[in-house]
């Protein structure tokens, strides 16, 4: 969020999660955690979670949790939040264990995942430095009915805003939806898009493409990395440094391409440049953005 805004601080994000209720965190596209606007939660949850239930059933079984035990666990989670308000993962773990339910290994994680898939809970407020779970029905306004075709069109449009030019397969993978759904969404906005000879799709914005962003430090698992199936155009020769053993580390971009990685060391940003390939101007811009990272976290 910091890299895409100006002047925002981590405390502002916490306030949006806790007091304003305008943001929340839950498992959505591809079964990964997403920070989204609360007003977008209903249609996203209805659209992208159905394909995740089969994997949820399988993982719960692998963790030794039967369907009946999972159902009882979700009832305990609901009861705990109704009785005591927002609950952290540790507090829910204690509640489930006291009810004789399994939480060992990754059982607890996959029980909370299932509760989110079923639209029971989301991560809302901050309790200290921990995200607390709340009941969707208590935390958010009652949602309007979701029109699936309208939702697919909006998902396709928003994807292209952030990731064009891209292919229909990029959209399907990014959303965690079947290719037929990606095509349905794109067909619904056919008058708003152009497709070139390489099947790359972009929104019609006029003659000029949007400008590339200025030099920026992006976090690990930044959404820009997950928008295309091939990552070579973005990462180039730096891909082995940015993606290490399946983990996506924080990296820096200049001119729309990765140029370095970075890390936090005792609250300060440490740039890790593979070589002296940056101009003084670009390096100064990254150092200024590093200072902004520190400001964001302290604010």
Is pLDDT above 70 for 206? no
Percent of the chain with pLDDT over 90: 80
Q: What share of the chain is helix, strand, coil (3-state, %, to 5)?
A: 50, 20, 30
Q: What is the pLDDT of residues 62-100, one digit of tens each?
A: 999 999 999 999 999 999 999 999 999 999 999 999 999
pLDDT at residue 208 is higher than 60: no
CA nearest neighbour of 228 among 172, 179, 181: 172
pLDDT at 207: 46
* DSSP secondary structure string for all residues of 50-81: GGGHHHHHHHHHHTT--HHHHHHHHHHHHHHH
| pLDDT tens-place string over residues 107-153 | 999 999 999 999 999 999 999 889 999 999 999 999 889 999 999 99
- Residue 266, helix vs strand vs coil: coil
Confidence of residue 209 (pLDDT cuts 50, 70, 90): low
The sheet with strand 23-27 has its strands ordered as: 33-37, 23-27, 121-127, 130-135, 87-88
Give the three-class secondary structure for 166.
strand
Confidence of residue 212 (pLDDT cuts 50, 70, 90): confident
CA 37 distance to own-chain centroid = 11
Tell me, what DSSP letter sits at residue 8? -
Q: What is the CA radius of gyration of the chain?
A: 21
- In sequence order, the β-bridge partners of residue 248 are 243
pLDDT for 44: 98
75 phi and psi, to 5 degrees? -65, -40
Q: Taking 90 as the threshold, does the pLDDT of residue 51 lie above it?
A: yes
pLDDT at 275 exceeding the cut of 80: no
CA–CA dist 299, 297 (Å, integer): 6
Distance CA 107, CA 121 (A): 17
CATH numbers and ranges of domains, the chain: 2-139 (no CATH), 148-203 (1.10.10.10), 216-298 (no CATH)
pTM value? 0.90
Cα–Cα distance for residue pair 185/187, rounded to 1 Å: 5
What is the chain's mean pLDDT, rounded?
93
Two tokens at 231?
């990552």
């Amino acid at each position: 969020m910091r890299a895409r805004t100006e002047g925002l601080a981590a405390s502002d994000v916490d306030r949006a999660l806790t007091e304003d209720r305008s943001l929340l965190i839950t498992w959505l596209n591809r079964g990964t955690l997403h920070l989204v606007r609360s007003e977008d939660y209903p249609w996203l949850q209805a659209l992208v979670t159905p394909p995740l239930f089969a994997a949820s059933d399988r993982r719960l079984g692998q963790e030794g949790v039967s369907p009946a035990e999972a159902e009882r666990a979700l009832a305990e989670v609901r009861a705990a939040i109704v009785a005591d308000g927002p609950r952290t993962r540790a507090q829910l773990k204690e509640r489930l264990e006291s009810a004789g339910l399994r939480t060992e290994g990754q059982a607890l994680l996959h029980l909370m995942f299932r509760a989110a898939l079923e639209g029971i809970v989301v991560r809302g407020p901050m309790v200290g430095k921990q995200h607390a779970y709340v009941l969707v029905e208590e935390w958010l306004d009652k949602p309007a009915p979701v029109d699936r075709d309208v939702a697919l069109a909006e998902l396709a449009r928003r994807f292209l805003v952030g990731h064009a030019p891209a292919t229909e397969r990029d959209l399907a993978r990014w959303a965690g939806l079947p290719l037929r759904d990606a095509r349905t969404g794109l067909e619904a906005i056919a008058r708003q898009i152009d497709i070139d000879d390489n099947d790359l799709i972009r929104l019609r914005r006029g003659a000029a493409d949007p400008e590339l962003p200025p030099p920026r430090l992006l976090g690990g698992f930044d959404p820009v990395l997950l928008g295309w199936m091939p990552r070579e155009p973005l990462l180039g020769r730096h891909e082995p440094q940015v993606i290490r053993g399946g983990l996506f580390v924080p990296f820096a971009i200049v001119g729309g391409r990765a140029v370095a990685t970075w890390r936090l060391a005792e609250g300060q940003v440490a740039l890790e440049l593979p070589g002296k390939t940056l101009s003084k101007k670009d390096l100064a811009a990254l150092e200024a953005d590093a200072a902004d990272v520190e400001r964001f976290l302290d604010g």
